[in-house]
Amino acid sequence: MSRMESWPEPIIRVQELSESGIKEIPEHFVKLPADRPCFIETTSHVDNIPLIDLENLKSFDESIRVETMELISKACREWGFFQVVNHGVSHELVAYVRGVWREFFHLPLEEKHKLANSPVTYEGYGSRLGVVKGAKLDWCDYFFLHYLPQLLKDEDKWPNLPISCRQIIAEYGQQLVNLCERLTKILSINLGLNEDYLHKKFGGDNERGACLRVNFYPKCPQPDLTLGLSPHSDPGGLTLVLPDTDVTGLQVRRGDDWMTVKPAPNAFIVNIGDQIQVLSNAIYKSVEHRVIVNSAKERVSLAFFYNPGGNILIKPADELVTEDQPALYSPMTFNEYRACIRTKGPCGKSLVESLKSPR
Ligand code: OGA
Ligand code: NI
């Protein structure tokens, strides 16, 4: 694949467009009628993704521990999504990191431009997904950075305004890595594998990856014509989303419907990515999701991605491949997989599906 040094078209900062006071959104952001959000809630308003209290895994009562493990297992198989509370990440740190990122996006444009990203690494301040000329754009700006592997971590590419934010961003990453380690153990056990199975398959302490995408969805004058983030499944291992405290927007696919996630106070939203779908031989589902926007309030969310090392071949676990359930996917490295996604942009679940080995 050729490596593009700069974006094929001029970048449009969505925040700038939003703040210019336009009443109609540019053509580039108008989705085809079939892809537009539907604001009439159907049956789904009573539904929500499962809520798991991780403290219950420390209960003295064995039946509570077993039941909690079972709830997580069911969520991974049937929803691909759940939310966790009592997750061990400091609430104070979470509040602080939210504030830091909101402040960053409200810095003058010149400040943010100093950290503008390119299609080479995607690190930094960015405003579009995919590199196809003429593609429909999403109503979102973002900031992308790496935590792991250590080799990719470059704090010089992180915001340094507001003051002391690098230290807070680093601490947040550390605590989320710890939570992901705990979750991958739980998932491994629930799959009937050794508790360190996923940790090892991700490349262990030295090779596993972790990165952060901070999404900024500005107010939109015509929210019914566009999306903050087009339907996609997350390409990596496991995602932890810190949602906005007072604006919803994330929607998860349930059959033909889109269900709006209602975050619990102090919760993280957890979702299975394509690599765990592959490793679990599709026992666990990486489910499509998207983000809607609104005209009243901006929304900030932090998506933390916990991934296998880029050069490790990912394939279904031998233990989960049987005569009845043959391997559904051919081996592929996460780097190869991610390169495909970045060229095509968000495109629902088509990529992991297209990788299914011929039967
Ligand atoms: C993502 C994502 C959800 C959100 O960044 O991949 O799905 O609520 N974000 O912003
Ligand atoms: Ni996502």
d(CA 292, CA 105): 19
d(CA 284, CA 251): 19
In short, whether 270's Cβ falls inside 6 Å of ligand 1 is: no
Task: Please list the pLDDT of the chain residue by residue as tens digits (359 residues).
Answer: 445 677 777 788 999 999 999 999 999 999 999 999 987 665 555 589 999 999 999 999 999 999 999 999 999 999 999 999 999 999 999 999 999 999 999 999 999 999 999 888 889 999 976 566 677 899 999 999 999 999 999 999 999 988 879 999 999 999 999 999 999 999 999 999 999 999 999 999 999 999 999 999 999 999 999 999 999 999 999 999 999 998 999 999 998 889 999 999 999 999 999 999 999 999 999 999 999 999 999 999 999 999 999 999 999 999 999 999 999 999 999 999 988 777 665 556 656 766 665 44
Q: Which ligand 1 atom sits closest to the C-alpha of 301?
A: 10
pLDDT at 344: 63
pLDDT at 2: 46
Please state the separation of Cα 144 from the chain's center in Å. Answer: 11
What's the token pair of residue 314?
A: 């990912």
In short, whether 190's Cβ falls inside 6 Å of ligand 1 is: no
In short, whether 301's Cβ falls inside 6 Å of ligand 1 is: yes
Closest ligand to the CA of 302: 1
Closest ligand to the CA of 303: 1
Residue 144: name the closest of 340, 338, 303, 36 by CA: 303
Residue 138: name the closest of 14, 53, 248 by CA: 14
pLDDT at 347: 53
Distance 334 CA to ligand 1 centre (A): 19
In short, whether 112's Cβ falls inside 6 Å of ligand 1 is: no
Please name the residue whose Cα sits nearest to atom 2 of ligand 1. Answer: 303
CB 120 within 8 Å of CB 208: no
Domains of the chain, with CATH numbers? 14-41+88-354 (2.60.120.330)
Please name the residue whose Cα sits nearest to atom 5 of ligand 1. Answer: 303
Distance 296 CA to ligand 1 centre (A): 19
Termini Cα distance of the chain: 28
Please name the residue whose Cα sits nearest to atom 1 of ligand 1. Answer: 303
Q: How much is the CA Rg of the chain, to the nearest whole Å?
A: 20
d(CA 183, CA 47): 24
Distance 263 CA to ligand 2 centre (A): 15
Please state the separation of Cα 241 from the chain's center in Å. Answer: 6
pLDDT at 314: 97
**Which amino acid, one-letter code, is at 24?**
E
Q: Which ligand 1 atom sits closest to the C-alpha of 299?
A: 10
Pocket test for ligand 1, best of 242, 291, 300, 304 (most atoms within 8 A of CB): 291
